[in-house]
Structure 1
Amino acid sequence: MLVKNHLKSVLTSLFMLNIAFTAIPMSLALVYNKFDNEFESHTRLNIYFLGFTLGVFMRQTLKAPYKLNNRLNLIIWTTVVLIMGGITFVYKFVQLLVHDGFIYATSFFILLRYFWGLSLCWVIYACHNGYGGIVNTFLTLPPFVFLNKLTYCMYIIHILPICTKIFKIRTKMYIQTDETFNLFISVYVVTILLSILWTLAFESPIIIIQKHMLRKK
């Protein structure tokens, strides 16, 4: 109720946090430019709060979503596709710049992740409210619906097959496209199988119990 009555204030506060958690890591990256780790957890806070902002916005506008005309919808989708395509193209180059010691590369990483997350927010919002078009049709195909039910468990346990695979390596490994692809496929398949077992054993029963507990009498 508090969020609903002060939605604009809450969204404004979350938006300011998004700006802060984008600007602060970028400033730190410029000050401590010799630290070339692009995986610092604090650089991802803006993405977490961006998702939180979207969740609050969608929850509070669930019964009355904003209506978009076809022209505006097309413009936004075109922009999103261009942004995501551009990020996909330049991401590897920026990653190489980090390891080459380019002082602005980490800041670029932060911005790239933020705009990627912002684009994903639009995909989620558009598909949920009927503006997804062929993207929504593609993402709602049966295989993706099945995988969607496993995503949380996959997120939790994917580190296990990765560590199992990596820790068994006893010799130098030459990074090649085919080797990386084989590693990805093996880890991905094992992760899916483990996620199915985990979902059936834990997540699904807990969801059913929760529904019974929260059911209105």
Structure 2
Amino acid sequence: MGNDVNRASNYIKLVYYAAWIRCQIYIMGLLVGWVLQKYKHVRINIILNFFLWFLGGSLMLTVLFGLYHYNQGHPLSLFWRAVYSALSKPAWGLGLTWLTVSCYYGYGGPINQFMSWNIWVPLGRLSYCAYLVHYPLITYVYGLEKNAIYYSSLWQIIMNYFIPITVLSFAIALILSILVEVPVGKLETLLLRPRRHEKYFKDKNGPSWEITNNHGNIIEEKKKKRNKILRFC
């Protein structure tokens, strides 16, 4: 029993929590973001689009249900355990990559329409903060149990754990976003945006202002007169 506990603890510390195990999907996300910013318009062949949707969906379903027999009590060999541990996260990332790319370029069909609903906008803004707080909440909720937790049904898991933890995560994420994420984002914008300076000049229509960047290019010019007062924007 003690050896099993030590093995589980070592697996969690060295494999499950390890940053180098999960970094590949973050790298994939960075590369996808760079591609989407660099290539704004891409034409995708309909056959290629269908094939990649099939491939991406197959990879994601394999990750979801690949351990079905293992969860039913049938042990896997060391080779297949290593394969799943090493490739499951990149495979899931590849599926998400094509889903994102296809929807971005307008080839997502009904999935793109579903993901474009306005209801997802506020949830998307809170998703990162919810990601940060959800795991401590899982630990806290499980820690409230006075007895050992046994799986009885999917409905029991959804009602007792999934829904409460999800609602609490987004509620705390809203507070965290208002108090931390939004103010820090505004401050970052003020500190890191290109510096601009104002230059006064005259033209035939009267005084005006020219706001230029460090290279001297005009980036904004507005004139407004009201009650003989010139307001600068």
- TM-score between the two structures when normalised by the length of structure 1: 0.71
How far apart are 1:86 and its partner, in Å?
A: 3.0
- Which of 59, 74, 78 matches 1:103? 78
Whether 1:195 and 2:170 are equivalent positions in the alignment is no
2:16 is matched with which residue? 39
Asked if the contact 1:94/1:109 (under 8 Å) is kept, the reply is no
2:26 is matched with which residue? 48
Identify if the C-alpha distance between structure 1 residues 183 and 67 changes in structure 2 by more than 3 Å, giving closer, same or farther: same
Identify if the C-alpha distance between structure 1 residues 133 and 158 changes in structure 2 by more than 3 Å, giving closer, same or farther: same
Task: Work out the CA distance in 1 between the residues paired with 2:144 and 2:178.
Answer: 29
Amino acid in structure 1 at the alignment position of 2:78: I
Name whichever of 149-158 and 108-117 sits farther off. 108-117
Identify if the C-alpha distance between structure 1 residues 179 and 155 changes in structure 2 by more than 3 Å, giving closer, same or farther: same
Identify if the C-alpha distance between structure 1 residues 133 and 87 changes in structure 2 by more than 3 Å, giving closer, same or farther: same
How far apart are 1:162 and its partner, in Å?
A: 1.5
Task: Work out the CA distance in 1 between the residues paired with 2:68 and 2:76.
Answer: 15
Task: Work out the CA distance in 2 between the residues paired with 1:96 and 1:141.
Answer: 38
Name whichever of 66-75 and 189-198 sits farther off. 66-75
- 1:98-145 per-residue CA deviation (whole Å, 9 max, x = no partner) reads x94631213223212211111101111122222222111111212222
Gaps of 5+ in 1: 1-34
Whether 1:166 and 2:148 are equivalent positions in the alignment is no
2:111 is matched with which residue? 135
Identify if the C-alpha distance between structure 1 residues 55 and 154 changes in structure 2 by more than 3 Å, giving closer, same or farther: same
Relative to total residues, which structure has the larger strand share, 1 or 2?
2
Q: 1:43-192 residue pairs with structure 2 within 5 A?
A: 43-59=21-37, 61-63=38-40, 65-94=41-70, 100=75, 102-104=77-79, 105-177=81-153, 178-181=155-158, 182-192=160-170
- 1:62-90 per-residue CA deviation (whole Å, 9 max, x = no partner) reads 44x43212222122112222322233222
How far apart are 1:96 and its partner, in Å?
A: 6.5
- TM-score between the two structures when normalised by the length of structure 2: 0.67
1:32 is matched with which residue? none
2:218 is matched with which residue? none
How far apart are 1:40 and its partner, in Å?
A: 5.0
Gaps of 5+ in 2: 1-9, 197-233
Task: Work out the CA distance in 2 between the residues paired with 1:91 and 1:54.
Answer: 28
Amino acid in structure 2 at the alignment position of 1:166: Y
Relative to total residues, which structure has the larger helix share, 1 or 2?
1
Identity across matched positions, percent: 23
Asked if the contact 2:70/2:76 (under 8 Å) is kept, the reply is no
The structure with the largest alpha-carbon Rg is: 2
